């Protein structure tokens, strides 16, 4: 596809994803592509990451595994690209549907908003159950403000790697780039941990994911600031940028802290800090420590509002680029 066709498909996919999200009636009948990626990653893990290997052997196997998986994803993208090209306008619509599958605007907002709804309707137990569906930390260790912080952090982080990053990869590299990014991002979530089992085998996946998400994480700061300006005014927009510049590097990830800090500034709440994963305490400093320390369900809802406004700004930018390349 040409760049203007890519931008048109991306624009339509962003609009489709915003309206339809992830239709559960479809994914209850057929496997989601990300689930297929996950199965391939699990197979590689089982075959190439036995406990009998040394750390250096695991690292070498991990490099080979992620490169092979990325090549498979690129090959799949090229096949789809050539296939859709055979059908003209119908092919553009088919590609739009495929791209929309790999974006996460409505589904992310729905899952995060469900945490606020559960807190209001079912109390802390409901909030813990709802937030456990979107974060990996131990839910029983979370009080209500921690539940709210976890939901807002997930919203901000996944805005970058669930919306902005895949969209950028598609805009620049087409379907091969999009599928490779989603394979890499899925691998990072599955094997890119610092646990004993994956610290070596998942090393390459984690490092490559850091590189792939670097541009989107920084762009997300500006998009969140723009969304904050639309929904909360100039002061919130300014704070989003200021806190992101000051605290974005406090996170253990080189990327996740950027959008999280921007959202923390936009909402004037503290995020991150110490938390528990699998019974292990991860000690991190608070992002936006001068902000409010008691996040609430209302803050989650405000965060979703800023998120949607940021998505709207991003879609507007893609539309503007499409007009430029016409």
pLDDT in tens, 97-107: 999 999 999 99
CB atoms closer than 10 angstroms to residue 224 = 34
What tokens appear for 242 in the block?
């200021």
Strand partners, 281: 276
Cα 161 to Cα 225: distance, rounded to the nearest angstrom? 17
Q: Tell me the three state secondary structure of residue 103.
A: coil
Cα 21 to Cα 16: distance, rounded to the nearest angstrom? 7
Please give the pLDDT value at position 229: 98
Please give the pLDDT value at position 189: 93
Strands (E), the chain: 271-272, 275-277, 280-282, 286-287
pLDDT at 140 over 90: no
> What is the per-residue pLDDT across 176-188, written as a single tens digit (0 to 9) for each?
999 999 999 999 9
In the chain, what are the domain boundaries? 3-325
Strand partners, 292: 269
pLDDT at 287 over 90: yes
Mean pLDDT for 99-128 is 96
Q: How many CA atoms lie within 13 Å of 262's alpha carbon, on the beta-carbon side?
A: 28
What tokens appear for 26 in the block?
């479809």
Please give the pLDDT value at position 276: 66
Q: Report the relative pairing of strands 275-277 and 280-282 from DSSP bridges.
A: antiparallel
Q: What are phi and psi of 64, to 5 degrees?
A: -60, -40
Sorting pLDDT into bands at 50, 70 and 90, what band is 321? very high
Query: 286 near 146, Cβ under 8 Å?
Result: no
Please give the pLDDT value at position 29: 85
Cα 154 to Cα 169: distance, rounded to the nearest angstrom? 21
- Start-to-end CA distance of the chain, whole Å, equals 13
What tokens appear for 81 in the block?
């690209």
Query: 288 near 270, Cβ under 8 Å?
Result: yes
Query: 17 near 106, Cβ under 8 Å?
Result: yes
> What is the per-residue pLDDT across 199-244, written as a single tens digit (0 to 9) for each?
999 999 999 999 999 999 999 999 999 999 999 999 999 999 999 9
For residue 101, give every residue at least 6 positions away whose Cβ sits within 8 Å of its Cβ, in sequence order, or none: 22, 32, 33
Please give the pLDDT value at position 22: 86
Mean pLDDT for 29-43 is 94
């Amino acid at each position: 596809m040409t760049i203007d066709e890519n931008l048109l498909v991306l624009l339509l996919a962003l609009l489709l994803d915003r309206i339809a999200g992830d239709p559960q009636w479809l994914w209850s009948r057929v496997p989601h592509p990300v689930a297929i990626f996950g199965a391939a990653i699990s197979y590689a893990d089982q075959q190439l990451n036995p406990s009998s290997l040394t750390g250096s052997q695991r690292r070498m196997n991990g490099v080979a595994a992620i490169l092979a998986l990325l090549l498979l994803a690129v090959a799949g993208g090229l096949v789809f690209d050539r296939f859709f090209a055979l059908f003209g306008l119908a092919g553009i619509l088919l590609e739009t549907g495929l791209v929309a599958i790999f974006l996460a605007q409505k589904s992310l907002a729905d899952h995060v908003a469900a945490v606020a709804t559960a807190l209001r309707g079912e109390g802390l137990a409901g909030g813990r159950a709802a937030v456990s569906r979107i974060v990996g930390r131990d839910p029983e260790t979370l009080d209500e403000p921690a539940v709210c912080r976890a939901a807002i952090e997930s919203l901000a982080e996944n805005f970058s790697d669930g919306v902005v990053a895949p969209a950028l990869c598609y805009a620049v590299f087409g379907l091969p780039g999009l599928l490779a990014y989603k394979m890499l991002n899925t691998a990072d979530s599955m094997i890119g941990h610092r646990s004993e089992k994956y610290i070596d085998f998942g090393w390459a996946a984690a490092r490559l994911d850091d590189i792939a998400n670097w541009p989107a994480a920084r762009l997300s700061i500006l998009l969140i600031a723009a969304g904050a300006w639309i929904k909360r005014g100039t002061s919130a927009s300014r704070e989003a940028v200021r806190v992101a510049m000051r605290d974005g590097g406090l996170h253990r990830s080189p990327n996740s802290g950027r959008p999280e800090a921007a959202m923390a500034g936009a909402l004037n709440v503290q995020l991150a800090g110490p938390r528990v994963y699998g019974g292990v305490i991860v000690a991190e400093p608070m992002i936006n420590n001068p902000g409010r320390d008691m996040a609430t369900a209302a803050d989650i809802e405000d965060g979703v509002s800023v998120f949607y406004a940021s998505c709207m700004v991003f879609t507007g930018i893609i539309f503007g680029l499409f007009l430029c390349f016409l």
